[in-house]
Amino acid sequence: MFPFSVTRKLASSPQLQPQPGGQSGCELIAFDAEQLNVFSAEVRYCEPHWHPAPELILVLSGSFSIAVSQDTHQLAAGEMLYINAEEVHSLEALATASSLLTVQFSLGLFNKTHPVPRLEYRGMRSSLNASDSHVYRALASLVAHLIQQASPFSRIAAVYLLLDALEKAGSPTLQSQIHARDVVMIKDCIEFINLHYEEDLTLGQLAEQSGVSYHHFSRTFKKVSNHNFKEYLTLIRTNKARQLLKGTHIPITEISQICGFREHKHLIFAFNKYCSMTPTDFRKRYLSSLNVPQPEMTEDCRCLPLNEALLKQLVAFSGQPAVSRIKQ
């Protein structure tokens, strides 16, 4: 998850009720005075999650595979994607040192007469039209207002101008082919997995607890999360193991048991698949990185500064000469 986020726990199903002390898949985001979160980060992987806030992602460097509901998008530097509120999404870097800029819009920006935009939008620099250019310019302008600490009303105006540009450039969302009840079911199960990953969980067990057939649950889980059940469970266990490898001196064989891997070799296999190294190498690299000025990235997410260099990059993406200095 991203660093500014905290999570909440849901309890809509008695059997799947989360327990204290774990992490769910739903992000509860704390917003600033502009009802906005803007952050830049180098990211390797973000597991499937959702939140009430719609968001706009712009790839700054490298490339990403971003899974949203049933669709997967590959975005290169300079391309952007709008993600609707409550949509399950995840992302994975396709190149080293891949970074992005994310804007998350608080529900406090909207009301009954001005509802949250539900739209499909993907900005491609290779085929910009006038509406796309307007989105890029509005995003650069918003970041300029934030970096240069413009007046509060000026900043909030820049937020609404970006939303206006997105609504004009995007198209209405198509009706989802997944029943809303099934989406809620899988979200509850994702939260349950996140909180009970160390247990001997099976697809059949969760299907039975959800009151649906094995095959229906399997198909729906894949559609909603873009991962099959076994793959998602292994990803969660691997991420938990990484946290223990960095934050404790617990032996690796014991970590594998704590995180739900039946055998030590299963943890090694998962690390080789998802981290391209063994658990031992991961721990060694993390410990050695603590003693160097610019360590090799061992975190899933590392924040980058919002500064003038970033603003120049956004201006270049937008194709405009420059952003005027904002009056204080």
Q: What angle do CA 318, 324, 328 make, to 5 degrees?
A: 130
Closest CA to 78 of 11, 128, 116: 128
Q: Which of 61-75, 210-224, 294-308 has the lowest mean pLDDT?
A: 294-308
Torsion angle in degrees (nearest 10) through CA of 174, 177, 180, 183: -110
Alpha carbon distance 40, 57 (integer Å): 10
pLDDT band at 164 (very low <50, low <70, confident <90, very high): very high
Mean pLDDT of the chain: 85
Highest mean pLDDT pick, 15-24, 45-54, 291-300: 45-54
Please say whether the beta carbons of 241 and 259 come within 8 A. yes
Answer yes or no: is pLDDT of 5 > 80: no
Torsion angle in degrees (nearest 10) through CA of 147, 80, 299, 36: 40
pLDDT band at 35 (very low <50, low <70, confident <90, very high): confident
pLDDT in tens, 245-278: 988 899 999 999 999 999 999 999 999 988 889 9
pLDDT at 13: 44
What the chain holds in terms of domains, given with CATH numbers, is 5-175+303-318 (2.60.120.10), 180-289 (1.10.10.60)
Q: Which residue has the higher pLDDT, 207 or 46?
A: 207
pLDDT at 32: 66
Non-local (6+) Cβ contacts of 321 within 8 A are: 315
pLDDT at 21: 42
Answer yes or no: is pLDDT of 294 > 90: no
Q: Which residue has the higher pLDDT, 173 or 308?
A: 308
Phi, psi of 56 (to 5 degrees): -120, 130
Non-local (6+) Cβ contacts of 22 within 8 A are: 9, 194, 195, 196
H or E element that contains 302: strand 301-304
Answer yes or no: is pLDDT of 29 > 70: no
pLDDT band at 129 (very low <50, low <70, confident <90, very high): confident
pLDDT at 299: 63
pLDDT band at 160 (very low <50, low <70, confident <90, very high): very high
Percent of the chain with pLDDT over 90: 58
Q: Which ranges of 248-278 would DSSP assign to H, the alpha helix?
A: 252-258, 264-274
- Sign of the C-alpha dihedral computed for residues 73, 78, 82 and 83 taken in this order: positive
pLDDT at 30: 62
DSSP 3-state of 66: strand
DSSP E strand stretches across 44-159: 45-49, 55-61, 63-68, 71-76, 80-83, 89-93, 99-105, 119-120, 122-123
Mean pLDDT (whole number) for 133-157: 93
For 324, the token pair is: 């005027």
Mean pLDDT (whole number) for 21-32: 58
Phi, psi of 106 (to 5 degrees): -65, 150
Answer yes or no: is pLDDT of 24 > 60: no
pLDDT at 9: 36
pLDDT band at 27 (very low <50, low <70, confident <90, very high): low
Mean pLDDT (whole number) for 208-235: 93
Please say whether the beta carbons of 2 and 39 come within 8 A. yes
